[in-house]
A and B are shown apart, each in its own frame.
Chain A
Amino acid sequence: MITFQGVYKYYSGIAVLQNVSFNIEKGQLVFITGPSGAGKTTLLKLIFGSEFPDEGEIKVANFEVSNIKQREIPQLRRAVTFVFQDFRLRQDLTVFDNVALPLRVIGEKEKDIKQKVMDALKDVALRHKADSIVKTLSGGEQQKIAIARAIITNPQIVLADEPTGNLDPEASQDVIALFKRINTKGCTVVIATHNSDFFRNKQYRVLTLKEGKIHEDASSFSN
């Protein structure tokens, strides 16, 4: 589903990722961890096609991301969705309209949108907030809406960059639980986080980055 082969990425001549190679299978839940500046965000951006490698090959869900054309990127982003630390929601719109946005982008009919949005909001337990304006909601609720928006089109892969970075511990646990639930439905989930509590003592694959290199690729349970 996701393949990195000898990937290098430089910013102003400084290597942010060096010779990164790994493979993520369909339906896996993978945590990417490491200290700040290890290259976690860059790695996710490379998967999402918002950055491109300077060397090496990246394949994501049938897309050759390392050589992807600009016109193919919208298609890639329909197969791979992203949940950000800062949510990236339209603060002026209602919860419903935010979650409906990806469906409108792909031209779904309005009558189908309503049902799908309500189902997605039910999944994140925020159905009752459908008509609320996003900016009136708490950080935890906003992140759940961002997750609902990410899953509404049934993507093959969901990426999350520090999704709990702005949340309190309780809301963080809820959000991680949500991702795990999404993964059980067959969706590949890749979460970048520096919080090891989410995968400690559990059987998840953990890629540890250090100074732009894969320091460790293991199941956390085996550590």
Chain B
Amino acid sequence: MKMHLHSAIKGLWFNRWSTLLSIISIGICFFIFTGFFLLLYNVEIFTKKLSTKAAIVIYLKDDTGRTEISSMIEQLKKMGVFSRIQYISKDEAIKEMKNLIDPALIELIGYNPLSDTIEAFIKEESLQNIEQITKNIKKMQIVDDVYYPAKIIVGLKTIRVTLWNLAIAGFCLISIAILFIIYATVKSFYWKKTEEIEILKLLGATPSYIRFPFLVEGGIIGLGGTIFAGILICLVYFVLHSKSFSEFLPAVTQIEFPVEIFGLLPVLGMFLGIISSFFALGKIKYQ
């Protein structure tokens, strides 16, 4: 193991310029990769926040009694799909309305045109069943009509799905690019060591013995790439959070940054490095 590591490090140092170039290229790929991830992560958080603010508004029939309203609220609670249920009487509603519209205009109507309503805030995990939930509520006796922000929810869904598809395509393309860079680098190292490898084959070295230093080299290149990407990410993070930048664009500071990514990136880098090195070497033949 120690000997293989030594051999791999020696090999990388011998080819230091191509190694450095690969690490930088892979680092940039991982940086873009992380950018995609952060975009997706933040969109997820944003859509979740927004969707939990979306409520189903249940308009109740006129002259619905207090007991019926209480029993309906109980029924809604039992459904287990709402995080918060709020009853707003028609009197309270008109009071609120008077804050928004000129009270004189309302007085002109001569009566309270609003209905008693229940606002039910749907739980995030139940959001996908909102249509069915609404249908079920509509069937209830005291319900006059039900409204939910369908356009917003469908819009958010579309944005999420599109971003996920884009991100998956991006991840795949970047992963392929990373694999290809490491593949080409390790393949060139392998060709440079043809004579050395031929000697090892003559001495009875097994394919795994021959492969191991190259796998280590690939792993180190992948790891180096992620370290480089990590440095870039940190730089960008500090620039975005710098006083001058955040004053100019305060929304930037709201971007969520999961630090776990610093643990995951090196593992992913090493994994991709080892995999691509394995394929770069192909089958070791003795003939």
* A163 CB within 8 Å of chain B: no
The answer to whether A90 touches B199, judged by C-beta atoms less than 8 angstroms apart, is yes
User: For the complex, what is the distance from the CA of A81 to the CA of B203, rounded to whole Å?
Assistant: 7
* B204 CB within 8 Å of chain A: yes
Given contacts A90-B196, A105-B209, contact A77 B287 (CB under 8 A): no
CB distance from A152 to the nearest CB of B (A): 10
Kindly report which residue of chain A lies nearest to residue B284, judged by CB atoms. Answer: A70
* B205 CB within 8 Å of chain A: yes
Q: What residues of chain A lie closer than 8 Å to B209, measured between beta carbons?
A: 105
The answer to whether B202 touches A82, judged by C-beta atoms less than 8 angstroms apart, is yes
The answer to whether B205 touches A74, judged by C-beta atoms less than 8 angstroms apart, is yes
Q: Give the interface SS of chain A, mostly helix, strand, loop or mixed.
A: helix
The answer to whether A104 touches B3, judged by C-beta atoms less than 8 angstroms apart, is yes
Count A interface residues, CB 8 Å.
Answer: 23
Q: What residues of chain B lie closer than 8 Å to A136, measured between beta carbons?
A: none
Count B interface residues, CB 8 Å.
Answer: 16
Q: What residues of chain A lie closer than 8 Å to B285, measured between beta carbons?
A: 70
The answer to whether B204 touches A105, judged by C-beta atoms less than 8 angstroms apart, is yes
Contact of A77 among B3, B196, B198, B204 (CB under 8 A): B204
Q: Digit string of A90-127 for contact with B (CB within 8 Å is 1, else 0)?
A: 10000000000110111000000000000000000000
CB distance from B9 to the nearest CB of A (A): 16
The answer to whether B286 touches A105, judged by C-beta atoms less than 8 angstroms apart, is no
Question: What are the 9 closest A-B residue pairs judged by CB atoms, nearest first?
Answer: A77-B204, A78-B204, A73-B286, A74-B204, A105-B205, A102-B203, A74-B206, A105-B203, A88-B199
Which residues of B line the A interface, CB within 8 A? 3, 196, 198-207, 209, 285-287
Having A51-B287, A74-B206, A76-B204, one finds 13 other A-B pairs with CB under 8 Å, namely A70-B286, A74-B201, A74-B204, A74-B207, A74-B286, A78-B204, A82-B202, A88-B198, A88-B202, A90-B199, A104-B3, A105-B200, A105-B204
Which residues of A line the B interface, CB within 8 A? 49-52, 70-71, 73-78, 81-82, 88-90, 101-102, 104-106, 149
